[in-house]
């Protein structure tokens, strides 16, 4: 079936649907974040990706509430990579994020809550403690789905020793043509873990790449649109960031063209060709 702005992925074992295109808000200052999210929601995005670390969860929540859209129609993700001094305090930190991103009304929820990084203080103990806090939010209905970010196969396998919810619903990892993490993606797909691609534009560092530029010209699209489309056609949930209204709109305008098999092969071939990645 062809992709549209309303296309979703289903979280295995649940009825939760994740919009395949999301709007990332890392590095958007709190003062600009509600306006950027409003532009994104106006442009048709229905999925916003924030984190405790980004210091803009509250502005995401405000933008969703002020958008006039029903809460159920917008998918909100947040993340936590730190623990408190006790398991209860770790849970309270996570609950604080839910209340910032979704409001303080009883039963307010985020759609997805991720352990942000495996490098939580205390290593395996820290990862376990944050995960158990997210499982509690999941049981309480304050997070409709829970997952991880930047986890390798070994971290996901380690979770089997302590997780009641396994596999994690999502693994959010850096993915673009220059960094394809194929073994990890294949493992997630085998386990039924939804793969989210962060930094799909390589954080803006590869938009002048000649191969992508030539492909974009031949398709009458921009390099950013080609890269977003690549991630979508690879089956990932794709999370571009922009705080420019025109580029926010442009990044959602990726459903009127398709990369052919030859284009996909060329982009696949860029993997590992850049020393930076
Ligand atoms: N889980 C994690 O650890 C993690 C880590 C990194 C990122 N993420 C998530 O992934 C999201 C996206 O990743 P990212 O922020 O690294 O960057 P990205 O989406 O790969 O690239 C964003 C950069 O590209 C520019 N840009 C965006 N659209 C453009 C266009 N159409 N034409 C030209 N330039 C364009 C942006 O500038 P302007 O804003 O000026 O347009 C910005 O400099 C983050 O916001 C975050 O939600 C998660």
Q: Are 134 and 143 in contact (CB under 8 A)?
A: yes
Cα separation, 157 vs 143, in Å, equals 22
Ligand 1 centre to CA of 202 (Å) is 7
Is any ligand 1 atom within 6 A of the Cβ of residue 178? no
Alpha carbon separation from 81 to 16, 30, 137, 215, 237 (Å, rounded): 23, 19, 15, 38, 21
Is any ligand 1 atom within 6 A of the Cβ of residue 37? no
- CA-closest candidate to residue 177, choices 195, 202, 155, 157: 202
Q: What is the pLDDT of residue 272?
A: 82
Catalytic residue among 54, 91, 151, 230: 54
Instruction: Please give the average pLDDT of every successive group of 10 residues along the chain, which has 277 residues.
Output: 93 95 98 98 98 98 98 98 98 98 96 98 97 98 98 98 98 98 98 98 97 98 98 98 98 98 98 63
Q: Are 166 and 160 in contact (CB under 8 A)?
A: yes
SS3 251: helix
Ligand 1 centre to CA of 86 (Å) is 34
Q: What is the pLDDT of residue 277?
A: 45
**Would you say the C-alpha torsion 167, 172, 174, 180 has a positive or negative sign?**
positive
Residue ranges per domain, the chain? Answer: 8-195
Is any ligand 1 atom within 6 A of the Cβ of residue 204? yes
Please say if 198 is a catalytic residue.
Answer: no
Fold classification of 8-195 is TIM Barrel (3.20.20)
- CA-closest candidate to residue 212, choices 197, 191, 229: 229
Give the other-Cβ count within 10 Å of 219's Cβ.
16
- CA-closest candidate to residue 149, choices 128, 179, 169, 123: 169
176 marked among binding-site residues: no
Cα separation, 64 vs 201, in Å, equals 25
Cα separation, 190 vs 134, in Å, equals 23
As to burial, measured by CB atoms within 10 angstroms (0-12 exposed, 13-18 middle, 19+ buried), residue 154 is exposed
Q: What is the pLDDT of residue 156?
A: 98
SS3 214: helix
Q: What is the pLDDT of residue 273?
A: 66
Is any ligand 1 atom within 6 A of the Cβ of residue 201? yes
Kindly give the number of the ligand 1 atom that is closest to the alpha carbon of 247.
Answer: 31
- CA-closest candidate to residue 178, choices 153, 147, 203: 203
Token pair 């590992």 in the structure block, residue: 272
Cα separation, 198 vs 195, in Å, equals 10
């Amino acid at each position: 079936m062809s992709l549209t702005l309303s296309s979703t992925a289903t979280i295995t074992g649940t009825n939760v649907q994740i919009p395949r295109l999301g709007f990332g808000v890392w590095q958007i200052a709190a003062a600009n974040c509600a306006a950027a999210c409003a532009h994104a929601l106006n442009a048709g995005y229905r999925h916003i990706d924030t984190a405790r670390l980004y210091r803009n969860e509250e502005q995401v929540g405000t933008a969703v509430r002020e958008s006039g859209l029903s809460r159920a129609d917008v998918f909100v993700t947040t993340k936590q990579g730190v623990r408190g001094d006790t398991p209860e305090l770790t849970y309270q930190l996570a609950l604080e994020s839910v209340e910032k991103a979704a409001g303080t009304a009883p039963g307010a929820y985020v759609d997805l809550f991720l352990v942000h990084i495996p490098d939580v203080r205390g290593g395996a103990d820290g990862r376990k403690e944050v995960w158990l806090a997210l499982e509690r939010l999941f049981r309480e209905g304050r997070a409709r789905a829970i997952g991880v970010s930047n986890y390798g196969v070994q971290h996901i396998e380690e979770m089997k020793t302590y997780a009641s919810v396994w596999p994690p619903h999502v693994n959010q990892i850096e993915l673009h043509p220059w960094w394809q993490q194929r073994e990890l993606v294949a493992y997630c797909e085998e386990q039924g873990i939804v793969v989210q691609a962060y930094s799909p534009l390589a954080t803006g560092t590869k938009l002048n790449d000649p191969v992508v530029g030539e492909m974009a010209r031949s398709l009458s699209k921009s390099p950013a649109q080609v890269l977003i489309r690549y991630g979508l056609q690879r089956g990932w949930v794709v999370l571009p960031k922009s705080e420019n209204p025109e580029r926010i709109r442009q990044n959602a305008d990726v459903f009127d063209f398709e990369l052919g098999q030859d284009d996909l092969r060329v982009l696949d071939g860029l993997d590992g060709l850049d020393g930076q990645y």
